Amino acid sequence: MANSMRRKLAAGELVLCMNLRLARSVDIAMVAKAGGYDALYVDMEHSPYSIETAATICAAALGVGITPLVRVPSHDAHWSSRVLDGGAQGVIVPHVNNRREAEAVVRNCRFPPLGQRSVMGLGPALGYRAMPLGEINERLNADTALIVMLETAEGIDNADAIAALPGIDVLLIGSGDLTTDYGIPGQVDHPRLREAYQRVAAACREHGKVLGVGGIRHNVALQGELIRLGARFVIAGTDVNYVLAGARLDTTALRAIPLG
């Protein structure tokens, strides 16, 4: 049950993650695995997922060897602790703007001495294997990935201070929200977004953290540029977009057939 995503990131390898907004059954974990993904994340920020559904998908992902993550809907501690207790091997926290907010993420998601996460004991993230509580806490601290999203100009300005914080693993730029905050919504080729990625990449290199890419999909040229810049955690697509792309392909082909 070790977090394979964290092992890949530690080795400097590329991790591809699927964003889930549509799927509600455990089959999606097998689909993501078969599709070549390393991780998936259940998006509780922008979809009406319940804790129970999120935990069920996380447990299924653990069973097939793909890393389950959950994007929580807010910074409130109970969201992070409950999804982690439910089997998530990592938490994506949106809209982290400064070091103080990042410190709260660590406090909510790490056991002492790193944080103040409440102790559950045996759980799905370790396969319910019996072991001393101290060992459980140590293992979960080591296996849990903490991913903070920088989605505003303030967050980019504070990237160095956030990256310097022990306990944070990935600084993930939310390109959609960031371009909106910059007043250039959706313009992912804009020089200002490139500059933001360069600044965060430098902070990640300085402090040994991972640069993450979010909100840039189906643009392999730009994704390749950011991977060459140092990004190793990439949200490569969403289940919604995959369903729509397949549907449009079929309907377009069928409507192009001349009627007899």
**How many Cα atoms are found within 13 Å in the side-chain-facing hemisphere of 87?**
24
Closest-CA residue to 227 (of 213, 209, 208) = 213
Find the catalytic residue in 46, 75, 190, 218: 46
User: Active site includes 46?
Assistant: yes
Residue 150 to residue 159: CA distance in whole angstroms: 8
Burial grade of 256 (CB within 10 A; 0-12, 13-18, 19 or more)? exposed
Sequence-distant (6+) residues with CB within 8 A of 206 are: 160, 163, 164
Sequence letter at residue 59: A
- Helix extents (H) in the chain: 4-10, 27-34, 51-64, 77-85, 99-109, 133-143, 153-157, 159-163, 175-182, 191-207, 220-229, 239-255
Q: What is the dihedral of CA 178, 180, 183, 187, to 10 degrees?
A: 80
Question: Which residues on adjacent β-strands are paired with residue 40?
Answer: 18, 68
Cα radius of gyration (the chain): 19
Active-site positions? 46
